[in-house]
């Protein structure tokens, strides 16, 4: 019965990455112009194939790093897409991952060898294959995660203002929030540190900068908070 394995069909296993970024008021995704057939010249998610020597998380990290130069990125497995004809060339199952990156820190290191570009999520071009479906599912997951873990912070620079954080949540959830209620909810999580420093860019008065307190978060994250916004 050992050789029952031998008679089974093998498939190609792809990994596609939905890379979210945040810039001012907009939630964005990073897309790449495909430079090979099929669908050459069309916009697509960043992707590649799983190698024999690595697991899926490693593949996702490698692919992301290779095509963008980014490293140390928050990533999470999303879903396996498996329609029989999803890739016209060959039977390929794709496991989608999504990543959160902070655009400011990483824009300079974007690998110029590839034709990658940021698009606003609600202004993105049509994508190849089932990539649009992947993006929709990723946004849904991101909304859910937002209420469960403070991953929103992954999309911001190390120091940020309350207003930026609020804009980010508004972009993810696609609704307006009240600033007083927002601030008190965020404060009640007790995972931010208010700095002395102010950001003078956005207004004459200047607004306090905050940073995320990794330690406090880890203390609490065991009991899985929920943030109702």
Partner DNA sequence: TCAAAAGTGTTCACCGTACACCCATGG
Partner DNA sequence: CCATGGGTGTACGGTGAACACTTTTGA
Size of the site for DNA (CB under 7 A): 22
Under the binding rule (CB under 7 A), the answer on residue 120 touching DNA is: no
2's tokens: 């050992």
161 binds DNA (CB under 7 A): yes
Q: How many CB atoms lie within 10 A of CB 6?
A: 6
5: contact with its own copies by CB under 8 A = yes
Q: From 13, 20, 9, 137, select the one nearest 75 (Cα to Cα).
A: 20
- d(Cα 93, Cα 102) in Å, to the nearest integer? 29
Query: Residue 204's binding partner, choosing from DNA, its own copies, none, with beta-carbon cut-off 5 to 8 A by kind?
Result: DNA
Find the shortest distance in angstroms from Cβ 93 to its own copies. 6
**Partner whose binding site includes residue 90, from its own copies, DNA, none (CB under 5 to 8 Å by kind):** its own copies
Please, what is the angle between helix 179-189 and helix 162-173, to 10°? 100
The single-letter DSSP state of residue 208 is E
CA angle 202, 203, 208 (to 5 degrees): 75
Binding flag, residue 4, its own copies (CB under 8 A): yes
Could you say whether residue 11 binds its own copies (CB under 8 A)?
A: yes
Which residues in this chain contact DNA in the complex, by CB under 7 A? Answer: 161-163, 178-181, 183-185, 188, 198, 200, 202-208, 228-229
């Amino acid at each position: 019965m050992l050789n029952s394995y031998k008679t089974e069909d093998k498939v190609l296993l792809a990994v596609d990455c939905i890379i979210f970024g945040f810039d001012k008021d907009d939630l964005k995704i990073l897309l790449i112009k495909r430079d090979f057939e099929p669908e050459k010249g069309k916009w697509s998610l960043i992707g590649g194939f799983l190698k024999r020597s690595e697991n899926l998380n490693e593949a996702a990290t490698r692919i992301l790093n290779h095509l963008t130069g980014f490293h140390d990125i928050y990533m999470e497995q999303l879903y396996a897409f498996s329609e029989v004809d999803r890739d016209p060339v060959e039977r390929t199952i794709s496991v989608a991952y999504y990543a959160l990156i902070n655009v400011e820190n990483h824009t300079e290191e974007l690998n110029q060898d590839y034709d990658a570009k940021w698009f606003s999520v609600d202004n993105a071009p049509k994508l190849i294959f089932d990539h649009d479906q992947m993006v929709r599912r990723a946004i849904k997951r991101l909304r859910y995660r937002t209420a469960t873990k403070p991953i929103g912070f992954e999309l911001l620079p190390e120091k940020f203002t309350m207003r930026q954080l609020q804009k980010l949540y508004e972009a993810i959830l696609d609704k307006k929030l009240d600033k007083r209620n927002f601030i008190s909810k965020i404060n009640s999580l007790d995972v931010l540190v208010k700095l002395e420093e102010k950001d003078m860019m956005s207004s004459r008065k200047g607004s306090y900068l905050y940073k995320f307190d990794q330690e406090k978060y880890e203390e609490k994250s065991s009991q899985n908070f929920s943030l109702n916004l």
